[in-house]
Chains A and B, each alone.
Chain A
């Protein structure tokens, strides 16, 4: 079985500051890992995914995440926050041959001017 834990339900950053969202996973098989973003009144949009290729994954809107097997982590970062990054972010995990996604509880990001 697979699961993820997102550390921190809410993160507040200043515009231009580093955004760091933490995700740790538990998986009995090599995992596939994902970050989704949900803007207010919208559905989830895939930011990036790790599917056992390069451990540093670059996504849309300047986000990237690094898969660290030794730490069972897949933290999401963006060097410089923009006001438009205010949203809820979800980490998710699946097994390689399974369509089912297990989501974390989400982290809400607010950006201060």
Chain B
């Protein structure tokens, strides 16, 4: 148990569907992350939230819309996705990010395996 949970674990959706991925952390952290993991490719950082404020959007298409209502929860809203968006989506959390501060260990959830038909 890593303290970071993700639901659902598996999701199959059509290109016209709207769905949401949920992440919850039980570690008392204040920073949360979304990553995309495609087969045989390095993990790609998508979004970062620090104290509920988005601090990073790594040129992610607008069909992915993140939401961070509080420091414990992070959502990824999906709409009109493409088949190439099929991947494992990982959520992570860490201690709060401070300006000029050092690296904080990131704790990962088990991921949501997304298939877009």
- Measured in the bound complex, the distance between the Cα atoms of B100 and A97 in whole Å is 5
Chain B contact residues, majority secondary structure: loop
Instruction: List B residues at the A interface (Cβ < 8 Å).
Output: 2, 4, 6, 9, 31, 40-43, 45, 48, 56, 90, 92, 94, 97, 100-106, 108-111
Please pick, from A49, A96, A105, the residue contacting B40 in the complex, using a CB distance under 8 A: A105
Stretch at the interface among A38-46, A58-66, A79-87: A38-46
A97 in contact with B101 given A103-B43, A105-B42 (CB within 8 Å): yes
Whether A43 contacts B2 by the Cβ 8 Å rule is: yes
Of B9, B45, B110, which contacts A100 at CB under 8 A?
A: B45
Counting contact residues on chain A (CB < 8 A from B), the size range is 20 to 34
21 example contacts (A-B, Cβ-Cβ < 8 A) are as follows: A32-B103, A36-B108, A42-B111, A43-B111, A44-B90, A44-B108, A94-B103, A98-B103, A99-B31, A99-B48, A99-B103, A99-B104, A99-B106, A100-B45, A100-B56, A101-B43, A101-B45, A102-B42, A103-B42, A104-B42, A106-B42
Chain A residues near B42: list those with CB within 8 A: 102-106
Task: Please list the residues of chain A having a beta carbon within 8 angstroms of any beta carbon in chain B.
Answer: 9, 32, 36, 41-46, 49, 51, 90, 94, 96-106
